[in-house]
Chains A and B, each alone.
Chain A
Amino acid sequence: MSAPKRLRDGVPAGSVLSREDAEAIAERVMRFSKADGVDINLGSNHTTNVRFADNQMSTAGAVTDAGLAVQSWFGPKHAVVTTNDLSDASLRRCVEQSEILARLAPDDPEAMPLLEPQQYLPVQAYFESTANAGAGDRAAAALTALRPVRAAGDLKAAGYLVAGAGATALANSNGMFAYHRSTSTNYTITVRTSDGTGSGWAAADHPDWAQVDFSRVSQRAIDKARASRDPRAVEPGRYTVILEPQAVGDLVQLIAFYADARLADEGRSPFSKQGGGNKLGEKIVDSRVTLFSDPTDAQLLGQPFDGEGMRLARQTWVENGELRTLQTSRFWAQKQNRTATGGATSLKMQGGSSSMEEMIRSTERGILVTRLWYLREVDPRTILYTGLTRDGTFLIEQGRISRSIRNLRFNESPLFMLNNLEMLGAAERLGGTEAGGAVVMPALKVRDFNFTSLSEAV
């Protein structure tokens, strides 16, 4: 038996494809293709994680993977086949199989010509600090939570740290080529009190490992857990609510999900207009609300192209409360004689100037919400969703946090909520997006938030 190889600390060489590697693979696919057209999506990544729970390390791992999706086109016929061997023999097989399937497929009447070459905005989202982090660094990060909770004796911590590096390249036989390389670090932690009455959550996310203050996140969850102990029930009903940025993001992100031009024009969207057409140009929420995507925003650092390779720049969806843009596919743009928007890779809501302290101080009676959980659509006509508060819900009385309260179920729409806006805080990057996506939201104070029942869950 040979001696064990050195532990792969950091990203192993070759596991994240360079621009040159990606270009060379794209060229080979184009050469093998006999179709009218071909487009590819080439990804490669190295992902590492450590998980702990019940004050123990639980699982930890490292996975290196890559993948190539080839879509072949014969006129309006197309099909996708994927492979993960980047040798010539495998690329040939993948191309041939996608050609066989594409020839068998019926015509797609909405097929669009392959995208023209695009000019992309530069986004620097690859950080060596993340790429170089190893198993020892991850264990040390976990200890920022495990050491204090074990020492405390009355706390239980469960957390998860995932970090990695990856590259995405898109190309087509029309000369379009897009390449983006990025790193990610995402840390989430839940601390519960051993008596089962308190639970606190905190998180951080950034492409740059060095920007994540693990100790601070761990301590925040510990503080929330202690403060949330021994909750009392309050009557469900309409409340003034202060939502931390994560809770705002849980709801406001839904707007982007529904903001599709075609669905609106077809009469099956909250942005459909009674009698026909859509609500573009109409005031839909409070005039202080501006929602946009921008891959170059320093807080977002998103991929500067969408899944088709379309160039992404700043795109404003809602401006000063007015619906400005609905996401429009290339097909729908052509059919309706509009401009295609591309699919967003980031989302930001413009913040305001109120601090959390000011929001609390100005509240006679209200509820402070840390985050929301298990959101599910109830009525797509209004983006009415149900879900529950979780991991830190507090009563505010006479301008201060008076006590921890039981969690509540809500039935509420982000559109109703943003019409009941009172104050906005500074916009922060969220850590609770499991995929490590780029979302930036402010804390909000809103009135008449609709809680419909109590939950005993802690």
Chain B
Amino acid sequence: MTDRREFLRTTGAAAAALALASAPRRAGAAPALKDLERFQSGASKELLLDAINAAKMAGASYADARIARNRQNFVVTREQQIVNVVDTDTLGCGVRALVDGCWGFAATRELSREAVTGAAREAVAIAKANRVARDRSVELAPVQAYPNATWRTPGVTDPFEVPLEQKVDLLLKANAEAMKIANVRFVNSVLFFVKQEKLFASTEGTVTDQTLVRSWPLFNATAVSADFSDFQTRTGAEAAPMGRGWEYVLQCDLIGNARKWGEQAAEKLSARPVEVGKYDLVLAPSNMWLTIHESIGHPTELDRAMGYEANYAGTSFIAPPEAQLGILKYGPSIMNVQGDRSQEGALSSIGYDDDGERPDDFLIVKDGMFNDYQTTREQAPWLREWYAKQGRPVRSHGCSYADSWGSVAFQRMPNVSLLPSTDNTSWDDLIAGVDRGIAIVGDGSFSIDQQRYNAQFGGQVFYEIRGGKLAGMLKDVAYQIRTPDFWNSMDGIGGRASYELGGSFFDGKGQPPQVNAVSHGSPPARFRQVNVINTGRKG
């Protein structure tokens, strides 16, 4: 699940109230001065060791501790005015303990020896209290020790060092460009930056120190018809969130694109409503990412397949594993889907996961066949037989993540990407191969069932394809799919030059709910005879 649209709506409508109201609960808060100094001086590594030792002394067979500082910066505007400027900052320590095969977790915002060892003992006590309800013990896959590992988002200009005036100036200029277009009456735009600094230590002998930076320019233009009979929006879907810094925001050409997005919002007012039916679709990477996320990313999470998310995010149609691995034909033989946390600029990229494992690149779909699930140390042993059959060791793919010091780590999605074809197929080539179809740019409405079979997706702009050429704009388009049928109808994939990343900061999963930032790379792709509905119902 992702909640980007809801985010943009709320930031646009009532950012100040939202920021204030949510600060204590979710956004957290700025750290104590002495704690901050301790964190910045590196002294908190000693606290981590104190915490895991305390957990061990209290009876834990395994323990890990994370001290994390998460900062966010928002600059929110509408039309030619500022809505708000918000800086959030939170620092604390979470300790996870395994006792007799049961997990316990406790977290504190105080970075003192007393507080973190207290949290460690509480985590152990919670694990012990839960033994009464235990049925089967947790087993962790083997892991190598990384005693002094570091990782940084490569090559970023730190957005937290960029003056506020530059950020405001960029947004107001972009807003002004869109407002030059007739009928464009409203614009909301946001710059959203994240910086996470994370120290981790485990009883396996690993200590890691990592810093990641993420940036997301959000943009939304609304055109209203003169007689108030219609309104249409265009979001800047192509300016994807990235694991990059201020240099990326500048590369997005927000000002030039704002004009295009405004023009397209206005053009949608007079676009032709789509006729219901089956069409060939050519989907841009800015639309593909969300379809990949929902129909490949989520059903290949091993915890979902095993029922661990049954009460919230749901299960998976790809279950049980032994009946699916190497058996399910996900798509055509040209289809290869990679899970990784290594693509430069991608949101999930990181050196070490929250189990202390170094993530590897792995093929989820190989030549069209389902090949592997996303895993953590707890989950990899569940696939022991499949890995033995393939002559592979039982090893986690490094997909463990917690969204804050106060959250427990569990399996989260790595970057899941459709690999490009080896030839030079382009967007135009794919369109040339369609007699009657629709080309879709940008992500829109999205909804999928809890096992990831039946989905419905919209988009930002839709063009009719006639005789291999674009033939005018359509509106009120949504495509409905059944996951395996849809992917098996894919008969064209763009080449390396057409590959782009899309993504979201807000993939939601777990109880208590946590968000995960994830990217999905894709070339444009073509699908045959997909069901299209008209969403412009009047009553």
A276 to B228, CA, bound (A): 6
Residues of A within 8 A of B109 (CB): 64-66, 84
B105 to A59, Cβ gap below 8 A?
yes
Q: Which of B384-392, B417-425, B450-458 contacts A (4 or more CB under 8 A)?
A: B450-458
A58 to B536, Cβ gap below 8 A?
no
Annotate B57-74 by CB proximity to A: 1 below 8 A, 0 otherwise: 110000000000000000
B445 to A84, Cβ gap below 8 A?
no
Residues of B within 8 A of A416 (CB): 537, 539
B90 to A84, Cβ gap below 8 A?
yes
A139 to B122, CA, bound (A): 15
B103 to A59, Cβ gap below 8 A?
yes
Residues of A within 8 A of B538 (CB): 382
Output the least CB separation between B40 and chain A (Å).
Answer: 14
Residues of B within 8 A of A255 (CB): none
Tell me the nearest residue of chain A to B79, going by C-beta: A109
Q: Which of A143, A166, A190 has the most CB of B within 10 A?
A: A190
Tell me if A104 counts as interface (CB < 8 A to partner B): yes
Contact of A384 among B102, B512, B535 (CB under 8 A): B535
A457 to B453, Cβ gap below 8 A?
yes
Residues of B within 8 A of A62 (CB): 105-107, 122, 126
Residues of A within 8 A of B164 (CB): 101, 104-105
* Contact A457 B450, CB 8 Å, known A60-B103, A80-B16, A106-B82: yes
Q: Which of B23-31, B196-204, B249-257, B362-370 contacts A (4 or more CB under 8 A)?
A: B23-31
A87 to B132, Cβ gap below 8 A?
no
Residues of B within 8 A of A108 (CB): 81-84
Q: Which of A89-97, A315-323, A359-367 contacts B (4 or more CB under 8 A)?
A: A89-97
Residues of A within 8 A of B104 (CB): 60-61
Tell me if A197 counts as interface (CB < 8 A to partner B): no
Residues of B within 8 A of A166 (CB): 25
Residues of A within 8 A of B516 (CB): none
* Contact A135 B126, CB 8 Å, known A43-B25, A65-B92: yes
* Contact A79 B84, CB 8 Å, known A105-B168, A387-B447: yes
Output the least CB separation between B78 and chain A (Å).
Answer: 9
A160 to B449, Cβ gap below 8 A?
no
Annotate A394-427 by CB proximity to B: 1 below 8 A, 0 otherwise: 0000000000000101010100100100000000
Residues of A within 8 A of B512 (CB): 47, 49, 162
Contact of B513 among A42, A67, A306, A434 (CB under 8 A): A434
Residues of A within 8 A of B233 (CB): 380
Tell me if B185 counts as interface (CB < 8 A to partner A): yes
Residues of B within 8 A of A134 (CB): 129
Residues of B within 8 A of A85 (CB): 30-33, 35
Contact of B511 among A160, A378, A450 (CB under 8 A): A160
Tell me if A212 counts as interface (CB < 8 A to partner B): no
Tell me if B180 counts as interface (CB < 8 A to partner A): no
A56 to B31, CA, bound (A): 36
A54 to B24, Cβ gap below 8 A?
no
A84 to B24, CA, bound (A): 8
* Contact A307 B231, CB 8 Å, known A49-B512, A66-B29: no
Tell me if B229 counts as interface (CB < 8 A to partner A): yes
Residues of B within 8 A of A159 (CB): 311
B29 to A307, Cβ gap below 8 A?
no
* Contact A80 B134, CB 8 Å, known A5-B121, A373-B449, A457-B449: no
A375 to B446, CA, bound (A): 9
Tell me if B317 counts as interface (CB < 8 A to partner A): yes
Q: How large is the interface on A (under 10, 10 to 19, 20 to 34, 35 or more residues)?
A: 35 or more
Tell me if A388 counts as interface (CB < 8 A to partner B): yes
Contact of A61 among B27, B32, B106 (CB under 8 A): B106
A156 to B172, CA, bound (A): 54
For chain B residues 112-132, which have a beta carbon within 8 Å of chain A?
A: 118, 121-127, 129-130, 132
Tell me the nearest residue of chain B to A64, going by C-beta: B108
B29 to A67, Cβ gap below 8 A?
yes
Residues of B within 8 A of A275 (CB): 227-228
A81 to B23, CA, bound (A): 9
Tell me if A339 counts as interface (CB < 8 A to partner B): no
Tell me if B46 counts as interface (CB < 8 A to partner A): no
Contact of A79 among B17, B86, B315 (CB under 8 A): B86
A55 to B54, CA, bound (A): 30
Tell me the nearest residue of chain B to A80, going by C-beta: B86
Q: Which of A264-272, A294-302, A348-356, A437-445 contacts B (4 or more CB under 8 A)?
A: A264-272
Tell me if A374 counts as interface (CB < 8 A to partner B): yes
Residues of A within 8 A of B24 (CB): 41-45, 65-69, 168
Tell me the nearest residue of chain B to A419, going by C-beta: B539
Tell me if B489 counts as interface (CB < 8 A to partner A): no
Tell me the nearest residue of chain B to A71, going by C-beta: B20
B453 to A455, Cβ gap below 8 A?
yes
A51 to B482, CA, bound (A): 31
Tell me if A260 counts as interface (CB < 8 A to partner B): yes
Q: Which of A65, A306, A454 has the most CB of B within 10 A?
A: A65
Annotate B115-153 by CB proximity to A: 1 below 8 A, 0 otherwise: 000100111111101101111100000000000000000
Annotate B246-273 by CB proximity to A: 1 below 8 A, 0 otherwise: 0000000000000000000000000000
A60 to B445, Cβ gap below 8 A?
no
Q: Which of A71, A150, A457 has the most CB of B within 10 A?
A: A457
Residues of B within 8 A of A190 (CB): 310-311
A55 to B311, CA, bound (A): 12
Tell me the nearest residue of chain A to B18, going by C-beta: A307
* Contact A106 B14, CB 8 Å, known A192-B310, A377-B445, A386-B447: no
Tell me if A280 counts as interface (CB < 8 A to partner B): no
Tell me if A314 counts as interface (CB < 8 A to partner B): no
Tell me the nearest residue of chain B to A201, going by C-beta: B311
Contact of A41 among B20, B122, B129, B168 (CB under 8 A): B20
A61 to B452, Cβ gap below 8 A?
no
B31 to A452, Cβ gap below 8 A?
no
Tell me if B480 counts as interface (CB < 8 A to partner A): yes
Tell me if B170 counts as interface (CB < 8 A to partner A): no
A110 to B81, Cβ gap below 8 A?
yes
Contact of B31 among A84, A89, A101 (CB under 8 A): A84
A456 to B453, Cβ gap below 8 A?
yes
A456 to B317, Cβ gap below 8 A?
yes
Output the least CB separation between A9 and chain B (Å).
Answer: 9
A41 to B228, Cβ gap below 8 A?
no
B135 to A158, Cβ gap below 8 A?
no
Residues of A within 8 A of B94 (CB): 63
Tell me if B1 counts as interface (CB < 8 A to partner A): yes
Tell me the nearest residue of chain A to B75, going by C-beta: A105
Residues of B within 8 A of A411 (CB): 456, 533, 535, 537
Residues of B within 8 A of A47 (CB): 512
Contact of B231 among A146, A196, A381, A450 (CB under 8 A): A381
A256 to B82, CA, bound (A): 26
Q: Give 5 pairs: A residue, B residue, CB < 8 Å, sorted on A.
A: A5-B118, A143-B132, A267-B185, A276-B228, A434-B513
Q: Which residues of A contact B (CB under 8 A)?
A: 1, 4-5, 7-8, 39, 41-45, 47, 49-69, 71, 78-85, 87, 89-90, 93-94, 97, 101-102, 104-110, 134-136, 138-139, 142-143, 146, 150, 156, 158-160, 162, 166, 168, 170, 188-190, 192, 196, 199, 201, 260, 263, 266-268, 272-276, 306-308, 329, 343, 373-382, 384, 386-388, 390, 407, 409, 411, 413, 416, 419, 434, 450, 452-458
Of all A-B residue pairs in the complex, the 9 with the closest CB atoms, nearest first, are A43-B24, A84-B29, A85-B32, A67-B24, A67-B29, A61-B105, A457-B451, A307-B21, A83-B30
Q: Which residues of B contact A (CB under 8 A)?
A: 1, 5, 13-14, 16-21, 23-25, 27-33, 35, 54, 57-58, 81-92, 94, 102-109, 118, 121-127, 129-130, 132-136, 163-165, 168, 172, 185-186, 222, 224, 227-231, 233, 306-312, 314-315, 317, 319, 406, 408, 410, 445-454, 456, 458, 476, 478, 480, 482, 511-513, 531, 533, 535-539
Task: Given contacts A85-B35, A189-B311, A268-B222, list 16 more A-B pairs with CB under 8 A.
Answer: A5-B121, A43-B25, A49-B512, A58-B103, A60-B126, A60-B127, A67-B27, A136-B129, A168-B24, A272-B228, A307-B18, A378-B478, A378-B535, A381-B231, A388-B454, A453-B531
